[in-house]
Amino acid sequence: MYEFQYHRATSLDDAASRLADEEAKLVAGGMTLIPTLKLRLAKPTELIDLAAIPSLKGITEEGDAVVIGAMTRHADVNRSDVVKRAIPALATLAGHIGDPAVRNRGTIGGSIANNDPAADYPAAVVGLNATVRTNKREIAADQFFTGLFETALQPGEIVTAVRFPKVAQANYQKFKNPASRYAIVGVFVARTPAGVRVAVSGAGACVFRVPAMETALAANFSPDAIKDIQIPQDGLNSDIHASAEYRAHLVNVMARRAVQACA
């Protein structure tokens, strides 16, 4: 690691004021940032720890939605009776992120702010048409994730919570890397108040939707409705774990499994 200053923020305002230094970094669970520092791939002047800010933790019901604080750990989402009752697919997704060590340290806010292309939460945020709340505004799911490790967050902006609408039917299916448990391809299918949504993680540089599948499933919510839909290979990831062609195939397979699981 390179040398840096460490600050344990006591409030959201305290953390935000420290971000005036463009070289400062926020740390939530540290599941990505700490290994990055160890490899000397980042050189922040200061680490601002969010763990001591109570307002960033917790899970509550808010009318027809569930609100999850940014510093809520994956394990807490997985065990939450509120989430299990209102959006069981989200609880199940959280229970299959990484391994127990990651689930007991990693946070939802850290995951979506980092926007790893193979992370699971982005698929849930987009698939459920969630709203990301920050210390400055609210950002719709479709506008939040903008590219490889990139989001709509502006300098000095901190994710405070994510608001997930309750849904009648939703499911997430993941073809995982056997070592890291990251999604080689993950597909989240949901029947939301605004219609059917299909969100894909792992296949591309960023989570994306599949409009052709959404239209087909809106007319006939069954695996057969999407079995012949081809996913273009252009722009999909291709690496030692899977080719772009294989990932395109997996999107259709995982989507059909998710629809079947909803039924």
Instruction: Say what the pLDDT of residue 65 is.
Output: 97
Instruction: Say what the pLDDT of residue 192 is.
Output: 86
What CATH number should be reported for the domain holding residue 216?
Answer: 3.30.390.50
Instruction: Say what the pLDDT of residue 115 is.
Output: 96
What CATH number should be reported for the domain holding residue 35?
Answer: 3.30.43.10
C-alpha closest to that of 83 among 130, 145, 44: 130
Instruction: Say what the pLDDT of residue 42 is.
Output: 86
pLDDT along the chain (263 residues), means of 10: 90 91 88 88 91 96 97 98 97 96 96 96 98 98 97 95 96 94 97 92 97 97 96 95 97 98 90
* Domains of the chain: total: 2
- Structural domain including 41 reads 1-49
Asked whether residue 124 is domain-assigned, the answer is: no
Asked whether residue 131 is domain-assigned, the answer is: no
CA distance 35 to 86: 34
